[in-house]
Amino acid sequence: MPETSFDLIVVGGGPGGYVAAIRAAQLGMKTAVVEREQLGGICLNWGCIPTKALLRTSEINHLLHHLDQYGFTAKDVSFDMKKIVERSRKVAKQLSDGVKFLMRKNKIEVFDGHGKLAGKGKLAVTKDGKAAAELAAKHIILATGARARSLPGLEPDGKLIWTYKEAMVPDRLPKSLLVVGSGAIGIEFASFYRNLGSEVTVVEVLDRVLPIEDEEISAFARKSFEKQGMKIHTSTQVKELKKSANSVTATLAAGDKTSTIAAERVVLAVGIVGNVEGLGLEGTKVRVEKTHIVADEWLATDEPGIYAIGDVVGPPWLAHKAMHEGVICVERIAGLNTAHPLDVTNVPGCTYCMPQVASVGLTEKQAKAQGHEVRIGRFPYIANGKAIALGETEGLVKTVFDAKTGALLGAHMIGAEVTELIQGYAIARTLESTEQELIETIFPHPTLSEMMHEAVLDAYGRAVHI
């Protein structure tokens, strides 16, 4: 089998991998991508994109049942789960096909199969257990992503106990659903199914939902979810899942108390595991810790010429973080002096539940723990004209500043469209803005973004509309 030589090979065609490949091609490198499943990876095919299509559907269903507040009346509103799923899959396919086009446009060669390191600068590609190609490159980036974690005794079966994949393609709406884990994935599915009419229970082993968010935002979110009818158990562990013909009975433990709850289906959202198996790492100096590859600030591993980006490296497990790492890694390989290491505190996080949650930077608790004297600003949705006009008055914008320097340490938001708004604070963090620049910035009226301005003003005792 002839060996094909490249300047760079990327193993994995997800958001981090395909962006790294495109940047490499832009910089004149002969580049290849090896992908064993679908271009676009989990994000485009089974994650970020199709879930947002599903959540859009549930938002519409929610609106249709609250039309009276806008002066409309509708009768016999119903939905077709098969069509909902079909639309979600169609959206995913459209974007995956778009990545194929980008590969062709940038003259990136794509190999269909599983890539495994086969000696220094070499990669063997197999398909269905048969040799497909032998590749060589001075630089190899591992962008193999991650998969859903499974806990002993809580293994998914694809029928009654689901991972995110099964949760995205239901054949019908379950009357009741138990969601194990209240991070972004768990809460998004809880929100989707609750807004379509399922009875939803969320169980979280930690003491609050959305545990990586600011405590004030987590508390606000819990109240909102419970008002929607969700049942939430925090500081609670699922000890056992007992299956019957068409339901599951879960045994819950909260301290010394145990209880049981029955649900038609269970969604497991208890974290992820890096895809590090079968990559040929055994014969290299690449280190793996807690199922994730160890890489330095430039995404280089301990093995010269081998790099790792995205979910296989570690948190935050976000597509846009993987993309940014891909660019950093490639630009460093190319010797560009414009490359800067990733500051993970500048990576915004978004949860597309109802209401939406978004944040960037340090929480109030983290800022204080790091020794900062802080100034906190808050502005409620109920005081914003655009929010009132939209009928979306549930929400809060919170800012955290260093009291001595005025540096924006963090921003935390819950409410309509905060996933679109958070980039304003992300830019401010990247530019190392202080309260002075933000206060002097003119925000358009009437917009939801005005609340971002007011939350800054409030931190300095200057809020106008509260």
Question: Which residues are tagged catalytic?
Answer: 445
CA-to-CA separations, 6 to 46, 119, 136, 140, 408, in angstroms, rounded: 30, 15, 6, 10, 43
Separation of alpha carbons 290 and 307, rounded Å? 18
**One-letter amino acid for residue 349 of the chain:** G
DSSP at 300: B
Closest-CA residue to 415 (of 249, 234, 124, 220):
220
Question: Concatenated DSSP letters for 29-55?
Answer: --EEEEESS-TTHHHHHHSHHHHHHHH
Contacts 24+ apart (CB under 8 A), 125-130: 125/34
* Cα distance from N-terminal residue to C-terminal residue, the chain: 72
Identify the DSSP state of 283.
G
C-alpha to C-alpha distance for 234 and 62, rounded to whole angstroms: 26
- Beta pairing class for 3-11 and 130-142: parallel
Phi, psi for residue 364 in degrees, rounded to 5: -60, -45
